[in-house]
Amino acid sequence: ITVEQKGASSRFGENLVTSKKSLTLEEIGVVKEDITNVNGATVDESGILTMTENTAVITVKNGARLTIESCVDGEVTINNSRFYENGSGYVLSVGENMLDLDLVWKDMLETHAIENAVWSSSNESVATVNDKGEVKGVSSGVATITATVGRKSTSITINVQRKLSQIQLRTSDASLAIGIARETVFASERYIDVKASNAKTANYTHVIVQGEPENATVAQLADFYSAYVFEIVEGCEYASMDTLVANKVVFNDSLEGKGKQKVVVKVSARYPKYEGMTRFTTETVTLNVVYGVAVSNIDELLKACDDQKAYAKSEENIKSEEKEVWRNEAYDAVYIVENTSLSKQTYAICLEGDCRFKEEYDDEGKVKETINYYSCVWLYGDVYGNNHKISASQGQSVNSYMVQIGQNGVTISNIILRATEIDGKDEISNAEDTTSFTGHVMRVGDEWFRYGEEDGGGITIEYSIIENGKQGVNVFNADVSFTGCIVRNITQAAFYVPIRMNDTDDIDPTTQKKIVKPCYSHVNLHNIISSNTLGSLMSIAYEHYTMKSGTQYRFVNQTKNKDKDGAYAKENEDYFIKYFYNAGINAIVRQTGFFMAYNWQDIDNAKLIQTGNEGIDTVLASYFGQLVRNCPQFDSFRYIDTNDKKDYLHLAFIVSGVDVHNGIIDAPTYLDLRMEEEMINCVDLKDVDMSASGMPQFLQSIVDNLSLKVYGYANTAAITPSSTYQVNNALIEKIHS
């Protein structure tokens, strides 16, 4: 087609729309001699084209075509509307530059200007238009823009969306890195109504984008999130995006038996402002999720404990039954170690809120002692605290536990265990506050069946805070690893580890001898802090382990009063070393990383330590300060606060061979201790010159015979007396270093 550069036809190339029924070839820029075919119109000898149909097609020699369409006179159209129409791919951005719509005559040969056009929007909450045809996006949605001239009108539907130049997630990897563990763990299920039953439904969470409107309605949230695309790019088998709520991640039960898994959610701009720069408009967040149930109050927690126990003890979930793992036949008894049963997999508990025991009051307004052996928190599976608390008021029975672990192979992570609340205070600065503590925080293990690490057993307690109790953690007959834990505000020992023999009346059918069950523990400590303790970080108490009584040896049928030259004592010890110590049937402590044991009260406050033995309490209250101040063996351990001249002794371990109940005060101890912390030294009380202690002579002779070793910081260590540790980012960074 030869097109002259004149008239409307040249503007639209091979398409022409006109209301005229008769045109000259010159008018449309076509040379008659070039025409090879005409459909839908006629061309006479004078070069007049007459439309016979609504559409005509003229073909010329080179094969090119000109299509002519008929329209009604006075019709208008929006120029290039096909590029802006909804569905074309064009999106008008909310609040950005306006779209300038150009209204033209549909008849391309019409040359006079359009006047008095009236513009309108079908939904001004989505888009507005002014009298110049300039359209502005207001909110996400579609709006029809109409232009009217006289009785003729034309419309275009425009897609209006929020175009994003960048995305920032409020639910980010950083926001989920909470607590000492720096993580959040979600459970696969949640209770529907725990007061009615233990029925559960799928648990979920929302991935929040920065800028989400506060107190928004469902419709407003839907509008906000319509600008984003949420998709799971890893862990699709464990979770899905909700079909109604765009940013809702729903977990499922395919997590069973899989341990802790990762679900990665990618959030991207549905309409990026700048194509090709998706690194600014795409973010991902990783969600840790386990098979288990979410709890947010004490009622849900106690119900979850029941569900944990039922799951752990179910017949099809037993990996190994209670079984004998070691035995030794002595002259009068057979010593047997039996491991407790072990489950194939556990049902986890994930805290989504603080769980506090509810106080009950007597007629005088005092808190009742409602927490005891049966009514405490019994755990039979993994627990992920997410930096939430399990706590109680001053309602524990004397020497009871707030939490007990009743299953082998369990991990407790990122939780705060607070046995006693003090008027709602999070921090304790006054030692006298500890005198109200009646119970202990946690018990691990069982005296009769061992929580051994064989077959994947053992207990792991990691990145947790254990506080506000007479004792922190009591470890009975278990292999336990503590990693990154803080134990504080304790009146006695942060960790109490009894090593004893449990004599039974049961007869072993093979040997026909009485059965004795050793109770011993292996403890691993990595990056541990004990602060605000009146006693030591760890007390390891050998109770009738190698002695049956104050006079009777255990492995030799002799008594001390017949042992004139110590031969029987050596024979008894040799037997223990050969058959028990070398087999690991003994207390073993392994310390790696850093180790901080800070007592935040001076030695005169030893009177606040309540051991349960009135005689020992009296000695501590009356003479402990004199013993430390006056005996030269403590000179390298004692710290002096230069401000108030108070004396401090930072105790790490106390290892004793004292069992008052069985009349034993001087049994040998055999702690197998290996430490990376080089600043810890040991003082054996038998090496202390008691004459300088100021004690009465009869007490000196008793204390002088006590089997007691004290491990503490040398006073050359960089320790500030009376310091209190605060949990902050710097400390957490150190714990993970």
* 3-class state of residue 633 by DSSP: helix
In this structure, is residue 351 part of a structural domain?
yes
**Nearest residue to 395 via CA among 365, 423, 372, 364:** 372
Task: Pick the last residue of a domain from 291, 307, 339.
Answer: 291
> Among residues 553, 591, 560, 592, which one has the least CA distance to residue 575?
553
The residues near 538 (Cβ < 8 Å, ≥ 6 apart) are 493, 494, 495, 496, 497, 523, 589, 652, 653, 654
> 18 with 109: CB under 8 angstroms?
yes
Which tens digits make up the pLDDT trace of 467-478? 999 999 999 999
List alpha helices for 444-588, DSSP H: 567-579
Nearest CA to 350 out of 175, 200, 208 is that of: 200
**Is 347 inside any structural domain?**
yes
Tally of domains within the chain: 4
Q: What is the CATH number of the domain that holds 287?
A: 2.60.40
Is 403 within the bounds of a domain?
A: yes
pLDDT confidence tier of residue 75, bands split at 50, 70 and 90: very high
Same domain, 459 and 590: yes
Q: What confidence score (pLDDT) does residue 4 get?
A: 39
3 falls within a domain = no
The pLDDT, as a whole number, for residue 703 is: 75
CATH of the domain at 136: 2.60.40.1080
Q: How would residue 2 be classed by pLDDT, with cut points 50, 70 and 90?
A: very low
The edge-to-edge listing of strands for the beta sheet with 48-51 is 22-24, 48-51, 41-43
Locus of tokens 């930096």: 387
Residues 45 and 128 in one domain: no
Q: Is 433 helix (H, G, I), strand (E, B) or coil?
A: helix
The confidence band for 640, taking pLDDT boundaries of 50, 70 and 90, is confident
The answer for residues whose C-beta is within 8 angstroms of residue 8's C-beta and 6 or more apart is 16, 18, 108, 109, 110, 111
Locus of tokens 């939904």:
123
- Looking at the fold, whether 390 and 455 belong to one and the same domain comes out as yes
Q: Tell me 265's DSSP state.
A: E
Q: What is the pLDDT of residues 212-229, one digit of tens each?
A: 999 999 999 998 999 999
Q: What is the DSSP letter of 254?
A: G
Amino acid sitting at position 453: E
Q: Which pLDDT does position 13 carry in this prediction?
A: 67
Reply yes or no on whether the pLDDT at 612 is more than 60.
no
Instruction: Determine, yes or no, domain membership for 199.
Output: yes
Domain identity same for 349 and 213: no
Cα–Cα–Cα angle for 540, 542, 548, nearest 5°? 170
Average pLDDT, the chain: 89
444 phi and psi angles, rounded to 5 deg: -120, 125
Which of 243, 269, 291 represents a domain boundary (last residue)? 291
Q: Are residues 260 and 309 in the same domain?
A: no
Residue-wise pLDDT for 425-484, tens only, equals 667 766 677 777 888 999 999 989 999 998 889 999 999 999 999 999 999 999 999 999
184 lies in the same domain as 128: no
Q: State residue 8's pLDDT score.
A: 33
For the chain, what percent of residues have pLDDT higher than 90? 62
Do residues 594 and 658 share a domain? Answer: yes
Q: Are 19 and 57 within one domain?
A: yes
pLDDT tens-digit map of 179-193: 999 999 999 999 999
Cα distances from 421 to residues 237, 436, 491, in angstroms, run: 42, 10, 15
Distance CA 279, CA 219 (A): 29
Task: Kindly state the average pLDDT of the residues 676-698.
Answer: 82
Top pLDDT among 517 and 696 is at 517
Separation of alpha carbons 393 and 425, rounded Å: 11
Residue 110 lies in a domain: no
Higher pLDDT: 485 or 727? It is: 485
Domain boundary among 268, 291, 314: 291
Same domain, 261 and 178: yes
Q: Are residues 452 and 550 in the same domain?
A: yes
Domain hosting 15: range is 8-70
Per-residue model confidence (pLDDT) at position 497: 96
pLDDT above 50 (res 719): yes
Residue with tokens 């935040």: 600
pLDDT tens figures, 148-184: 999 999 999 999 988 888 899 999 999 999 999 999 9
Distance, in Å, from the CA atom of 355 to the CA atom of 357, rounded to the nearest integer, reads 7
591 assigned to some structural domain: yes
Length of the chain: 737
pLDDT tens per residue, range 42-65: 999 899 999 999 999 999 888 888
State whether 156 and 231 are in the same domain: no
> Apex CA 139: angle with CA 133 and CA 141, to 5°?
85
If asked whether residues 206 and 149 sit together in one domain, one would say no
Which residue's entry shows tokens 């029924």?
A: 21
- What is the percent of the chain where pLDDT is above 70? 94
For residue 6, is pLDDT > 50?
no
- How many CA atoms lie less than 13 Å away from 45 in the CB half-sphere? 0
Name 462's Cβ contacts closer than 8 Å, sequence gap at least 6. Answer: 181, 411, 412, 413, 414, 481, 482, 483, 484, 485
648 lies in a domain? yes
Gap between the Cα atoms of 734 and 519, Å rounded:
34
Of 622 and 120, the structure prediction assigns the larger pLDDT to: 120
pLDDT at 278: 76
Q: Which of 238-252, 512-526, 536-550, 644-658 has the lowest mean pLDDT?
A: 644-658
Could you tell me which residue, 88 or 182, shows the higher pLDDT? 182
Q: Which residues of 393-424 are buried (b: 16+ CB within 10 A; e: fewer)?
A: bbbbbeebbbbbbbbbbbbbbbbbbbbbbbee
Cβ atoms of 606 and 621 closer than 8 Å: yes
For the segment 557-567, the average pLDDT, to the nearest whole number, is 89
Which is more confidently placed, 1 or 74?
A: 74
